[in-house]
Chains A and B, each alone.
Chain A
């Protein structure tokens, strides 16, 4: 028998890979410092270190702060001004960012005053603001740097009972509501992407922004849609599928560990990612995910919510098959792992003679 590299690296049968994986990540985890690092440029605090690790493993719907890395097609990625131009196109700017929106409840009008200073900084012109506001119904009057809107009567599909109400004038409440809507109206950019910053990567410039609207960003022709990335794993799963989500989990955990200068073998991280995704959808590690789906009653009861599991098991007359490790320890048997899995098998007689 030739012992080759491949053989020597193979994991032996019945090795407790899960426990070893948990320990290999858990131990360096205790050394994680409370010091947090910051992403260059993005002013907001993005969780790193332990909080981020917990976030990944819990499979949260939306991370505390999503980040999107937008790479550009080569013709745009060479120079900073080019990239910055795209960044400005992508970053969402709302009316309230560049203008003061005031509603006058007496005359039931809304006055939008364009702030030239803010607008210049964002590269927004009055015309753009006007365009954004024009989407709302109503009488629009322009006066220098300000727009006055007299909202029209609501164009509601008339219900049968309130015929009179149809004729009713715009209420103050509705004006308030509308002014809020105007404030949130998009002047420019992609909704859900904000605070875009150009960063110099390896020999090219790319954009890092808050948010995770991958599809929205890809609509821009300058964006290299093949390399776009976000740290929102749920979003990756939704758009690119479960395999991509698995890779994203591996990448994100690796990044957290690297940032703290902790070394964990990639295979341990891969095992975690596999465990979270093998069923075809993202599953968290914990009560609501992986641990909650254990086969044995005793194993689940030993983890969390003991009584709930015991009562449910009794209601359905569940049988404990003693498959897991915890169950067997509770009962006082050898654990079906490592040496505990080995059973003696005898070879058939004729084979021996041969």
Chain B
């Protein structure tokens, strides 16, 4: 039996809600909503108020809360946009600006709720009498990040997503006051450029003052296989001229900390008496106050700020009665493997009133093989080879590309926008003007082709190239143009890591983990399985024992427990059974720990020894 659900009748009078709370009712909510909106447009009500009428429940919501996401629309009345030609003209004459338009009720912001009550036209042409609003511009559907990408309507959506993610990783000028800032890590590009193909949003946001990329001449070909699988061949001469060159700033800081008992750290040049003195060499860049001199070239584990701390435990009173303070060394030094020049030093007060020293170290990151570059179309790649200009292919007019990108990167990813930008960049440089790549309304292919033709170029952007090595003409025409490329902050020199020997962990005697700790690379379970599958028995032993935590432990042959060597009497002895028949056995330190742990479970493990073989 189907139970008949009771239909909830909407109340006859409209309930009125203010920020979700009932404040009263009204006989005709719909017309009230319209009147309220009209008041908002005539500025009698704040422009930040939104009104939403729910006809199903007969509820009217007036929303003034903070945190509602709102976006602007042009108001449409009786099938006509309120933004008329006359008003547009006044805007052009700088008589009106955005805020005026809001006050005049031409533009209003809707939140998610009020949008439910409106019918929004995307273009002026499609307005009918039913429409209530007009989209300011169709490219408004994109946010700040996607809005600055050129020609997104020509790309596949996953690539747009990727392009957005990568634009956030691009290096350029992140803040115009970078010289005064002490960010823990910052990159500044040497010669940032504004893109040749821009969007309206890019201009509106004045992004060219915070540019993060350079316009590169890009040829779509292969180069001796060095740009396979998303690698990029880069013109070494361009790099030498400063292409994609970036300065890395790293800030190190240290503080004079207070300890209970009135003791304090001291920033000074440590003397050799200090416990843990690192040797004269380490302190050679320090001035008398114990802080590095700016512009000194530091590297390795050299000290930036000399600091001494009071002893960790109270010193025993010496024979002479007076307490001799043995200070500890706690200087701030550069991380191992890093080098650079001291850019500047800042001495201030920390949050708890202690003396605080910040040292900013600068190092230049010149593009090298393995660094990551990306266009604004999700076309990322790493540098595969740096080629001197003379070995690069060149055009009839003698132009060599900065980058050579593999054409295989295009078809499967469907980033036609990349190609369009190449063409647009080329037309832009020939025509001497910036091109518009705004979504849905940017400059067209035909416009570009016209400029190219006018300047005596092949209209599709293809050119005859000559092999830089042999001088022979390349048999096919190559697509070549200018594309805005970004350098992404995945820089190999910051990631490169090798280890042949190094520190081990205290507990397990196994190698440490991670680049920062000069760690080893984990030979994991699956890797181990592969060697087992291969039958490479000796190799497993080498990886898991010899190159890890091998120890020689003494084992008592009588009771099977781990024995020790008594240095005082120079003999081996089992601490459990006092037996002296003890044999050295090669085991992993982790196994010794396992035995110890099993013992803690109240289980006594015995090692039964047998002759080898």
Known contacts A307-B601, A310-B603; A19/B541 CB under 8 A: no
Min CB distance, A298 to chain B, in Å?
A: 9
Does any Cβ of B come within 8 Å of A174's Cβ?
no
Residues of B within 8 Å of A311, CB to CB, are 601, 603
Cross-chain contact B603 with A332 (CB below 8 angstroms)? no
Known contacts A332-B541, A332-B587; A314/B535 CB under 8 A: no
Residues of B within 8 Å of A23, CB to CB, are 529-530, 533
Residues of B within 8 Å of A22, CB to CB, are 529
Cross-chain contact A329 with B536 (CB below 8 angstroms)? no
Contact partner, B541, options A16, A307, A310, A334, Cβ 8 Å: A334
Cross-chain contact A19 with B533 (CB below 8 angstroms)? yes
Cross-chain contact B594 with A330 (CB below 8 angstroms)? yes
Residues of A within 8 Å of B594, CB to CB, are 330
Cross-chain contact A332 with B544 (CB below 8 angstroms)? yes
Does any Cβ of A come within 8 Å of B10's Cβ?
no
Total interface residues on A, using CB and 8 Å?
Answer: 28
Residues of A within 8 Å of B588, CB to CB, are 330-332
Cross-chain contact A314 with B603 (CB below 8 angstroms)? yes
User: Which has the most chain A C-beta neighbours within 10 Å: B540, B591, B601?
Assistant: B540
B-binding segment of A83-91, A137-145, A337-345: A337-345
Contact partner, B587, options A314, A331, A336, A339, Cβ 8 Å: A331
Cross-chain contact A337 with B598 (CB below 8 angstroms)? no
Residues of A within 8 Å of B534, CB to CB, are 16, 338
Cross-chain contact A19 with B603 (CB below 8 angstroms)? no
Cross-chain contact A335 with B608 (CB below 8 angstroms)? no
Min CB distance, A303 to chain B, in Å?
A: 12
Considering only residues 306-329 of chain B, those with a C-beta below 8 Å from chain A are: none
Contact with B along A216-241 (1 / 0, CB 8 A): 00000000000000000000000000
Cross-chain contact A337 with B537 (CB below 8 angstroms)? yes
Does any Cβ of A come within 8 Å of B365's Cβ?
no
Q: From DSSP, what is the main secondary structure of chain B's interface residues?
A: helix
Considering only residues 304-341 of chain A, those with a C-beta below 8 Å from chain B are: 307, 310-311, 313-314, 319, 325, 329-341
Min CB distance, B88 to chain A, in Å?
A: 53
Min CB distance, B591 to chain A, in Å?
A: 6
Cross-chain contact A339 with B550 (CB below 8 angstroms)? no
CA distance A14 to B550 in the complex (A): 27
Residues of B within 8 Å of A265, CB to CB, are none
User: Which has the most chain B C-beta neighbours within 10 Å: A15, A313, A334, A343?
Assistant: A334
Does any Cβ of B come within 8 Å of A295's Cβ?
no
Residues of A within 8 Å of B550, CB to CB, are 332
Cross-chain contact A20 with B528 (CB below 8 angstroms)? no
CA distance A23 to B538 in the complex (A): 21
Does any Cβ of A come within 8 Å of B577's Cβ?
no
Nearest to B542 among chain A residues (CB) is A334
Does any Cβ of A come within 8 Å of B586's Cβ?
yes
Cross-chain contact A339 with B535 (CB below 8 angstroms)? yes
Residues of B within 8 Å of A310, CB to CB, are 598, 601, 603
Cross-chain contact B603 with A14 (CB below 8 angstroms)? no
Nearest to B548 among chain A residues (CB) is A332
Cross-chain contact A340 with B603 (CB below 8 angstroms)? no
Nearest to A325 among chain B residues (CB) is B532
Cross-chain contact B533 with A334 (CB below 8 angstroms)? no
Cross-chain contact B529 with A334 (CB below 8 angstroms)? no
Nearest to B586 among chain A residues (CB) is A332
Residues of B within 8 Å of A343, CB to CB, are 613
Nearest to A22 among chain B residues (CB) is B529
CA distance A334 to B532 in the complex (A): 10
Contact partner, B536, options A325, A333, A339, Cβ 8 Å: A339
CA distance A339 to B534 in the complex (A): 9
Known contacts A331-B591, A332-B586; A19/B529 CB under 8 A: yes
Contact partner, B532, options A16, A314, A341, Cβ 8 Å: A16
Nearest to B603 among chain A residues (CB) is A314
Known contacts A307-B601, A311-B601; A329/B528 CB under 8 A: yes
CA distance A331 to B536 in the complex (A): 17
Does any Cβ of A come within 8 Å of B430's Cβ?
no
CA distance A332 to B550 in the complex (A): 8
Min CB distance, A219 to chain B, in Å?
A: 39
Cross-chain contact B545 with A338 (CB below 8 angstroms)? no
Contact partner, A340, options B533, B538, B604, Cβ 8 Å: B538
Cross-chain contact B587 with A319 (CB below 8 angstroms)? no
Min CB distance, A148 to chain B, in Å?
A: 22
User: Which has the most chain B C-beta neighbours within 10 Å: A22, A335, A336?
Assistant: A335
CA distance A314 to B598 in the complex (A): 10
Min CB distance, A1 to chain B, in Å?
A: 23
Nearest to B587 among chain A residues (CB) is A332
Residues of B within 8 Å of A15, CB to CB, are 535
Residues of B within 8 Å of A329, CB to CB, are 528, 540, 544
Residues of B within 8 Å of A334, CB to CB, are 537-538, 540-541
CA distance A16 to B598 in the complex (A): 30
CA distance A336 to B608 in the complex (A): 19
Cross-chain contact B601 with A14 (CB below 8 angstroms)? no
Nearest to A335 among chain B residues (CB) is B537
Nearest to B545 among chain A residues (CB) is A332
CA distance A333 to B544 in the complex (A): 10
Known contacts A307-B601, A314-B603, A319-B608; A332/B535 CB under 8 A: no
Contact with A along B126-168 (1 / 0, CB 8 A): 0000000000000000000000000000000000000000000
Cross-chain contact A335 with B529 (CB below 8 angstroms)? no
Contact partner, B537, options A319, A331, A332, A339, Cβ 8 Å: A339
Residues of B within 8 Å of A338, CB to CB, are 532, 534-537
Residues of A within 8 Å of B545, CB to CB, are 332
Considering only residues 323-343 of chain B, those with a C-beta below 8 Å from chain A are: none
Considering only residues 532-580 of chain B, those with a C-beta below 8 Å from chain A are: 532-538, 540-541, 544-545, 550
Considering only residues 84-135 of chain A, those with a C-beta below 8 Å from chain B are: none
User: Which has the most chain A C-beta neighbours within 10 Å: B537, B540, B587, B598?
Assistant: B537
Residues of A within 8 Å of B598, CB to CB, are 310
Residues of A within 8 Å of B613, CB to CB, are 343
Residues of A within 8 Å of B544, CB to CB, are 329, 332
Cross-chain contact B591 with A340 (CB below 8 angstroms)? no
Other contacts beyond A314-B603, A330-B591, A335-B532: 7, CB < 8 A: A310-B603, A329-B540, A330-B594, A331-B587, A332-B541, A334-B540, A341-B537
Pull 13 A–B residue pairs with CB atoms less than 8 Å apart, ordered by A.
A16-B532, A19-B532, A22-B529, A319-B608, A325-B532, A329-B540, A329-B544, A330-B591, A331-B588, A335-B537, A337-B537, A338-B534, A339-B538
Of all A-B residue pairs in the complex, the 6 with the closest CB atoms, nearest first, are A338-B535, A340-B537, A314-B603, A19-B533, A332-B588, A332-B545
